[in-house]
Amino acid sequence: MRMCIKVWGVYFSGALLCQLLLPAFPEDFFAFPVNGALVLLAVTGLWVLRKERPASPAVRLLSSPSTTCILLALLVLSCLTLGLASSPSPSSWWFFFLFTALTLHLLMVFYAGAFRRRPHRLRFILIHGGLLLALLGSFAGAPDTAEWRLPVDKKRPTRQAYTPQNGKIYLPHSLQLKDFDVTYYPNGLPQDFRADLLLDQTEDIALSVNHPYALSLTDDLYLVDYEHTPEPRFCIVQLVRQPWKYVLGTGIWLLLGGCLLLFVQGLPQGMTVRREKAEKGGRP
Amino acid sequence: MTWTEFPWFAAAAILLWTGGAVCALRSRKDFSTGAAWLTATGLCAFAAFIILFWMSLQRPPLRTLGETRLWYSFFLMLAGLLTYCRWHHRWLLLFSTVLTLVFTLMNILKPEIHDQSLMPALQSYWFVPHVTVYIFAYSVMGCAFLLAIAGWVKHTERYRPAIDRLTCIGMAFLTAGMLSGALWAKDAWGHFWNWDPKETWAAATWCLYLIYLHLRLCGKGRRAMLNALLVAGFLCLQMCWYGVNYLPAAQESMHVYY
């Protein structure tokens, strides 16, 4: 435990120094193919390390239960800091170090538990594998994720979109508003709104809240807002590019399966043993 | 059915639950069938209001803070009853009743503004499972919190098995609630996770309970530390549920209750 605290103390001191001394985290540098290569390197590198040197300090550190608690505690503290901030941004050196450590640790724990006989092995694989995929999809996939907003009106087709920083770009597809329908509750709040759009002057598409349109395997269109007048003349469409959504989505569904098994199968074996001790009056 | 009729149903339910709690405390046996039946009847009265209210609103009563309190009260008593039936902790029904009474009184004395409108983003098939699963998890964790406090005050590990099981079940539901929210967010806003204040507090809460489970799995952690984690988890959970509404960051949140 003390060794773990020392090593992670040094590691996160480095993270803090980077956060304080270096300029903003260069997220774009880690865009594909760099993130893909790093993920591949981590997956194969840790596998080889575990096979070739199972007793090495690095393997013991990364698969230690103390590491789990230390990293989770740091994540709690980081979340609390973010939660109390008025404009939180997890894109920073600190979170880069934290999520890198969490991913490597989870990968090592997965290798250690998924390939040996153990009680509730399927549950272990679903929970840890799912969490690993979700973490990889969101953390490694973040540099490839982008969004743009397009004001779309009825007058003419538009390709002009805006980044969250108000940067202007031109998309390869054009959109034109054909029809917009909004209904209101008696108290004036919007009940529902939907837009009929013309994509590339050829294809009719319908957009409403909670019902995005898949433009391609990586891009989705969302209806996010409209002109708040009795007869709206334009609506705001958001284009989200998220190539890693399949990795993230798979991770989420695996984790949901693991939760179901956690509920059905109950307590893990180790806890049951300690439960019996506790029932006899012993301390855990 | 409107909030005007709520005090009648609530009074009937509270009376039955109090009767159940007294029965459980005064019973000579570890488990009192009468206490369980009284509590179950109170739950039926409370459930009847929720069902009739749902039908009259023509939407699930899950939108406002007051409506979520309604579910929390129901699930807390349900979790308390199930825990009592399984582990026979006779004082748990009283604790659950007192906690439920607090939330029910809040709804009666300080009613939120209720209307029948449901904003477009909430009109999704994820709405009911996401919120009910989360509120059930909150209630189960509430029971675990009560047991942790009792164990702390009495300096005993007697309640640890029940706490472990409740935390395990609560964790399964908490995770399912969080993940269903992520899938819904992808449909509604395009991103699974936005680091919205509510999501950030949800992540902190989830991690705290995860630390507890891992400490228990490894057999590490002293009694005080384990109980402190459960208390911290419960406090974080309250922040996540309604505390974020009072933070400056809530101005930008997409999860604020109306």
Query: Is A224 within 8 Å of chain B by CB?
Result: yes
Q: Do A175 and A137 share a domain, yes or no?
A: no
On whether residue B150 sits in a domain, the answer given is yes
**Partner residue opposite B208 with nearest CB, options A76, A85, A270:** A76
Nearest to B98 by CA among B155, B29, B22: B22
On whether residue B244 sits in a domain, the answer given is yes
Q: Are B151 and B159 in contact (CB under 8 A)?
A: yes
Residue B141's domain comprises 119-258
On whether residue B164 sits in a domain, the answer given is yes
Higher local confidence (pLDDT), A276 or A109: A109
* pLDDT score, position A279: 47
Q: What is the pTM of this model?
A: 0.85
On whether residue A109 sits in a domain, the answer given is yes
Q: Do A169 and A157 share a domain, yes or no?
A: yes
On whether residue B76 sits in a domain, the answer given is no
User: How far apart are alpha carbons A175 and A237 in whole angstroms?
Assistant: 9
- A199: β partners: A175, A203
* pLDDT score, position B228: 94
Q: Where are the alpha helices (DSSP H) in chain A?
A: 2-21, 34-52, 57-62, 65-84, 93-114, 121-124, 130-135, 245-265, 269-279
Q: Residues 6 or more apart from A100 whose CB is under 8 A from it? A: none
Q: Do A138 and A270 share a domain, yes or no?
A: yes
Query: Cα dist. B5→A49, A175, B48, B219 in Å?
Result: 66, 51, 12, 50
Average model confidence (pLDDT) across chain A: 89
Query: Is B203 within 8 Å of chain A by CB?
Result: yes
On whether residue A249 sits in a domain, the answer given is no
Tens digit of pLDDT for each residue in B145-196? 999 999 999 888 888 988 998 899 899 999 999 999 999 999 998 999 988 8
User: How far apart are alpha carbons A283 and B157 in whole angstroms?
Assistant: 7
Higher local confidence (pLDDT), B139 or A163: A163
On whether residue A254 sits in a domain, the answer given is no
Q: Do A64 and A205 share a domain, yes or no?
A: no
Give the confidence band of A271 by pLDDT, cuts at 50, 70, 90.
low
Residue of A63, A226, A262, A265 best to disrupt the B interface, most CBs of B under 10 A: A262
* pLDDT score, position B180: 94
On whether residue A195 sits in a domain, the answer given is yes
- DSSP for B109-135 reads HSPPP--S---GGG-STTHHHHHHHHH
Q: How far is A99 from chain B (nearest CA, A)?
A: 14
Tens digit of pLDDT for each residue in A3-29? 889 999 999 999 999 988 988 889 889
Is B183–A249 a contact, with Cβ atoms under 8 angstroms apart?
A: yes
Number of domains observed in the structure of chain B: 1
- Pair of tokens at residue B64: 């406002």
- Indicate if the pLDDT at residue A86 is higher than 60: no
Q: Do A34 and A47 share a domain, yes or no?
A: yes
Number of domains observed in the structure of chain A: 2
Q: How far is A82 from chain B (nearest CA, A)?
A: 7
- Indicate if the pLDDT at residue A90 is higher than 80: no
- Indicate if the pLDDT at residue A272 is higher than 60: no
**Partner residue opposite B176 with nearest CB, options A87, A220, A256:** A256
- Alpha carbon B46 to its chain centroid, in Å, reads 15
Is A192–B120 a contact, with Cβ atoms under 8 angstroms apart?
A: yes
Nearest to B34 by CA among B77, B97, B75, B93: B93
State what percent of residues in chain A have pLDDT above 70: 92
Tens digit of pLDDT for each residue in A219-257? 999 999 999 888 889 999 999 999 999 999 999 999 999
Q: Which residues of chain A lie closer than 8 angstroms to B182, CB-CB?
A: 252
Q: Do A94 and A45 share a domain, yes or no?
A: yes
Q: Are A134 and B186 in contact (CB under 8 A)?
A: no
**Omega prior to A33 cis, within 30 of 0:** yes
On whether residue A95 sits in a domain, the answer given is yes
On whether residue B107 sits in a domain, the answer given is no
* pLDDT score, position A249: 96
Q: Do A24 and A118 share a domain, yes or no?
A: yes
Q: Which residues of chain B lie closer than 8 angstroms to A138, CB-CB?
A: 192-193
Tens digit of pLDDT for each residue in A105-163? 999 999 999 988 888 899 999 999 999 999 999 999 999 999 999 999 999 999 999 99
Of all residues in chain B, the one with the smallest CA distance to A184 is B117
Interface of A with B in 78-137 (CB under 8 A): 79-80, 82-90
Q: Are B71 and B131 in contact (CB under 8 A)?
A: yes
On whether residue A252 sits in a domain, the answer given is no
Residue for token pair 């591949």: A40
Q: Are A49 and A59 in contact (CB under 8 A)?
A: yes
Query: Is B226 within 8 Å of chain A by CB?
Result: yes
Interface of B with A in 130-159 (CB under 8 A): 157-158
Q: How far is B70 from chain A (nearest CA, A)?
A: 24
Query: Is A193 within 8 Å of chain B by CB?
Result: yes
Q: Do A273 and A133 share a domain, yes or no?
A: yes
Residue A204's domain comprises 146-241
Query: Is A38 within 8 Å of chain B by CB?
Result: no
State what percent of residues in chain B have pLDDT above 90: 43
Nearest to A158 by CA among A167, A141, A171, A146: A171
Is B164–A85 a contact, with Cβ atoms under 8 angstroms apart?
A: no
* pLDDT score, position A256: 95
Q: Do A130 and A230 share a domain, yes or no?
A: no
Query: What does chain A come to in residues?
Result: 284
Give the confidence band of A178 by pLDDT, cuts at 50, 70, 90.
very high
**Partner residue opposite A79 with nearest CB, options B172, B203, B244:** B203
Query: Is A275 within 8 Å of chain B by CB?
Result: yes
Mean pLDDT, residues B33-40: 94
- Indicate if the pLDDT at residue A166 is higher than 70: yes
Q: Do A8 and A61 share a domain, yes or no?
A: yes
Buried b (16+ CB within 10 A) or exposed e, A126-135: bbbbbbbbbb
Nearest to A252 by CA among B183, B249, B186: B183
Query: Cα dist. A159→A171, A179, A194, A206, B63 in Å?
Result: 5, 18, 20, 18, 37
On whether residue B193 sits in a domain, the answer given is yes
Nearest to B32 by CA among B20, B46, B41: B20
DSSP state of A27: G
Is A284–B216 a contact, with Cβ atoms under 8 angstroms apart?
A: yes
Average model confidence (pLDDT) across chain B: 87
Q: Residues 6 or more apart from A216 whose CB is under 8 A from it? A: none
Higher local confidence (pLDDT), A162 or B100: A162
CATH number of residue B196's parent domain: 1.20.120
Q: Do A118 and A192 share a domain, yes or no?
A: no
User: How far apart are alpha carbons A237 and A29 in whole angstroms?
Assistant: 28
On whether residue B254 sits in a domain, the answer given is yes
Q: Do A117 and A29 share a domain, yes or no?
A: yes
- Pair of tokens at residue B58: 């023509």
Give the confidence band of A282 by pLDDT, cuts at 50, 70, 90.
very low
On whether residue A132 sits in a domain, the answer given is yes
Describe the strand order of the beta sheet including A213-214 as a list of residue ranges. A203-208, A190-199, A168-184, A158-162, A146-153, A234-241, A219-226, A213-214
On whether residue B131 sits in a domain, the answer given is yes
On whether residue A64 sits in a domain, the answer given is yes
**Partner residue opposite B193 with nearest CB, options A138, A262, A279:** A138
Q: Largest alpha-carbon pair distance within chain B?
A: 58
Of all residues in chain B, the one with the smallest CA distance to A1 is B220
* pLDDT score, position B88: 83
Q: How far is A84 from chain B (nearest CA, A)?
A: 7
